Structure 1
Amino acid sequence: MTDHEVLRRRQPLRIRGRSVAWVVPLLLLVGITTVDVNTAASVRIISWIVLVPGIAAALCGLWTTALFAVLAVVDYVLVDSVLFHQYKVGWPDFVLVTLGGILATLACAVRLRGERRMLHMRDIAETTRRTVLRPLPPGWAGLEHAAAYLAADTEARVGGDFYDIQPGPHGTRVLLGDVQGKGLGAVEAAAALLGTFREIGYHAPDLATVAAHLEVRMGRHRFHTTSLGRADGDRFATAVLIGFPVVDDGTVEVVNFGHEPPLVIGADGVRALPAGDRLPLGLGELVPAAGPPAPARVPLGPGETVLLTTDGVTEARDGHGVFYDLVGQVARATTADPGAARPRRLTRLVREGVLRHSGGHLADDTTIFAVRRIEGVLLGGRFRA
């Protein structure tokens, strides 16, 4: 990544796509020179020109900073040696200005190297996020959908929240979950669960089989990380698994692994789907007598939207510690405008509400995922694996 690319991606002072960061040190250069020339001869501030390359180092590129370092020295020599004779600042400040320009140029080089490294890491994080949370085509698998992901660590841009839609010959399956903890270990666990879901979600004839494989996969992942001696071998994940049948019979199947119950929004208002009695993925071995997951079949009318969120939404607080009222806000918005229940508008509504309520300070990664069946579309059929 070149210095030009770094500045183009990080430079806030731009007009019509062009950088105007150089204007700031130029104005400072002109201002110091003008004040020094137009004040009494006994008042000399020309040595302040050492600030010019320092400001350029913080805002501009390497060559621009070097140019301002040279201009500062030249300007100092002209003003101090040519225009004034009685009150010369002299060689000590000349050395100061020269040394300041050199140090500013070196500091700019260090800054650009650090920004280049940071942008490279952000690119890696963005690639990781797109790999784990793959983009979904519009109307994917017969579902109108929309998603919003907000990482609590704005620089990392990736965390342990995950979601996906998997079409298959037995219907369409939807998964949303939240891995306990943060960091790359949480991302690794999320990727393992999503890989299993994308494979078994296509082939499994029933939702219970998909749920059972997710439980086994999380257990295997925990065993693997523990065997490696890692400290994060006790991770678990809350998740919600929803199955849309091939033919719309007015119902969906739901398996809830200790997650926040999804909301259903439609003409009849807002209601919560069953919370379920399953432990989070990875903790099923604590209750071996519970048996395999049994999906709950719940009604879902035409035009109703299913809203799935992670706890970053429900645990968002304002400055007074008050939790975000998800149900209340969604109910008021959809009552005033039934069109607000469409997935894209609903996702945007909740996203903006969470950010506004928390003042942009998120304590946890936040995922908002809304899906609605497209009427008249069969969800079965064979798809390319």
Structure 2
Amino acid sequence: MPGCGPFPAVLVWGHGGLPAVTEIEYGRQKQLLRVRGRNVAWVPPLLLLAGIVLLDFNTTEHFRIITWIVLVPGSAAAICGVWTTGAFAALAVVTYVAVDSAWPGQYQAGLGDFVLVAVGGLMATFASAVRVRKEKQALHFQDIAETTRRTVLRPLPPRWAGLEQAGVYLAADVDARVGGDFYDIQPGPHGTRVFVGDVQGKGLAAVETAAALLGTFREAGYHEKDLATVAERLEIRMLRHRSHTTALGRDDGERFATAVLIGFPEDTEDTADTPDIIEIVNFGHEPPLAVGPHGVRELPSGDGLPLGLADLADGAPVVHRVPLAADETLLMVTDGVTEARDRTGGFYPLARDLASGDPACGGAGAGGAEPWELVRRVRDGVLRHSGGRLGDDTTAFAVRRIRQAGGEGGEQGGLRS
């Protein structure tokens, strides 16, 4: 597995240069038993059949166990396909007749047990058909959920709009694979805007809310010059969405979303020696972290309330303007990261882990602040800390300004796409 830590990767959604992960992940069910790519699910039922036959021949007439052969199609039904299970059911019947006929007449199990083996095989085949059908339905629903998430959380190029980015999403709901975490980048004539957040709750209702917010962000982030106006439009959209769902009779009247909105101004000098002055609006979200060779620093968290709760505050969230060094990468996470717990109930120490400087894991202390290194570090750290038991959807998103001598016309040209 790429990365560090003893747990298998469970990357459900990621891009921006993050290495591919193994097939051991949340999501599509695999055939249960495979060796070197070949399906060997038929081996256990076959071994069971051989064992029953051998045991029956090597016991006395007072301990006939050939009837146990009914377990063979039953075990096949749990791990094999319908045709394989049917084949084992027929094989069990034939084997029963052959083995039972080899004993003297007075010791044979007889017609009653034959009917038991035959009926048991038919029921096992039927059970296998039901199982396979349910698995196909489950895979279909997972595909729908994945398509829904991909529609909301659109794929982003690794290098786009003057930014290098990488993101990772770990779903707490293994079956649904959907939740309210979101992130996006929107280039425009007034610079590049980044939006990361977490909608209260899980499931399709949270995804629907995230889609509403992202739609507004993509339009307002492109057209509006002031980041404060973008923030205001996001708040209005959240209130309108809640009003609509409430009118439909759904219990979404108290739903809100924490988020952080970041603006990279277009007029920043594109040189390696000039720090950015970025704009940040924080809607009650985890504060962004600036990670670089000199350590990890927390950017202003602001005093804004989550989206949908602006009526509890006196005014709009404050727009903070902070410097971001050329060699620093901006890392944003949802509370699934910071609130991940170990067996003792301790929270995951994100900043300390990033600053630990483990070169094998791309730690910031080792001088590595590549976006894909950071999100991989967060992914592996959360899984290692929590033992793979995620209590909430977990998202990490990292961006860094692309800088080259004289600027990059191709990247900056994407700002107006």
Number of the residue aligned with 1:77: 97
CA contact (8 A) 1:169 1:381 kept: no
Tell me how far apart the structure 1 counterparts of residues 135 and 328 of structure 2 sit (CA, whole Å).
Answer: 46
Q: What pairs with 1:163-312 in structure 2 (closer than 5 Å)?
A: 163-249=183-269, 250=275, 251-287=277-313, 289-290=314-315, 292-312=316-336
Tell me how far apart the structure 2 counterparts of residues 63 and 369 of structure 1 sit (CA, whole Å).
Answer: 46
Tell me how far apart the structure 2 counterparts of residues 23 and 83 of structure 1 sit (CA, whole Å).
Answer: 28
Number of the residue aligned with 1:5: none
Number of the residue aligned with 2:22: none
Tell me how far apart the structure 1 counterparts of residues 55 and 101 of structure 2 sit (CA, whole Å).
Answer: 17
Q: What pairs with 1:78-227 in structure 2 (closer than 5 Å)?
A: 78-227=98-247
Q: Deviation at 1:161? A: 0.5
CA contact (8 A) 1:141 1:172 kept: yes
Equivalent residue letter for 1:276? G
Please state whether the residue corresponding to 1:165 is helix, strand or coil. strand
CA contact (8 A) 2:283 2:317 kept: no
CA contact (8 A) 1:265 1:271 kept: yes
Number of the residue aligned with 1:326: 350
Write out per-residue CA displacement over residues 164-201 of structure 1, whole angstroms, 9 at most, x where no aligned residue. 01111211110000111122111110000001111111
The alignment yields a C-alpha RMSD, in angstroms, of 1.6
CA contact (8 A) 1:159 1:182 kept: yes
Number of the residue aligned with 1:3: none
Tell me how far apart the structure 2 counterparts of residues 158 and 46 of structure 1 sit (CA, whole Å).
Answer: 49
Q: Deviation at 1:59? A: 0.6
CA contact (8 A) 1:41 1:84 kept: no
CA contact (8 A) 1:171 1:380 kept: no
Q: What pairs with 1:6-17 in structure 2 (closer than 5 Å)?
A: 9-17=29-37
Tell me how far apart the structure 2 counterparts of residues 384 and 50 of structure 1 sit (CA, whole Å).
Answer: 69
Tell me how far apart the structure 1 counterparts of residues 29 and 188 of structure 2 sit (CA, whole Å).
Answer: 41
The counterpart of 1:338, out of the listed 355, 367, 386, is 367
Q: Which moved more, 1:228-237 or 1:369-378?
A: 369-378
CA 218–335 in structure 1, closer or farther in 2 if over 3 Å, else same = closer
Equivalent residue letter for 1:375? R
Compare the two structures and name the one with the higher helix fraction: 1
Number of the residue aligned with 2:23: none
Tell me how far apart the structure 2 counterparts of residues 115 and 11 of structure 1 sit (CA, whole Å).
Answer: 11
Number of the residue aligned with 2:383: 355
CA 365–382 in structure 1, closer or farther in 2 if over 3 Å, else same = closer
Q: Which moved more, 1:100-109 or 1:239-248?
A: 239-248
How many equivalent residue pairs? Answer: 375
Q: Which runs of 5 or more structure 1 residues have no equivalent in the other structure?
A: 1-7
CA contact (8 A) 1:239 1:280 kept: yes
Q: Deviation at 1:225? A: 1.1
Q: Which runs of 5 or more structure 2 residues have no equivalent in the other structure?
A: 1-27, 270-274, 358-362
Q: Deviation at 1:209? A: 1.6
Please state whether the residue corresponding to 1:361 is helix, strand or coil. coil
Write out per-residue CA displacement over residues 3-36 of structure 1, whole angstroms, 9 at most, x where no aligned residue. xxxxx95312112322110111111111111221
Tell me how far apart the structure 2 counterparts of residues 221 and 9 of structure 1 sit (CA, whole Å).
Answer: 35
Q: Deviation at 1:242? A: 0.5
Q: Deviation at 1:84? A: 4.0
Q: Deviation at 1:89? A: 1.1
CA contact (8 A) 1:176 1:240 kept: yes
The counterpart of 2:337, out of the listed 313, 317, 336, is 313
Tell me how far apart the structure 2 counterparts of residues 79 and 101 of structure 1 sit (CA, whole Å).
Answer: 17
CA contact (8 A) 2:181 2:199 kept: yes
| Greater RCO (Cα-Cα under 8 Å, separation 6 or more) | 2
CA 212–336 in structure 1, closer or farther in 2 if over 3 Å, else same = closer
Normalising by structure 1, report the TM-score.
0.94
Tell me how far apart the structure 2 counterparts of residues 84 and 346 of structure 1 sit (CA, whole Å).
Answer: 74
CA 122–277 in structure 1, closer or farther in 2 if over 3 Å, else same = same
Normalising by structure 2, report the TM-score.
0.87
CA contact (8 A) 1:255 1:295 kept: yes
CA contact (8 A) 1:253 1:298 kept: yes
Q: Deviation at 1:93? A: 1.2
Q: Deviation at 1:383? A: 5.9
Number of the residue aligned with 1:374: 402
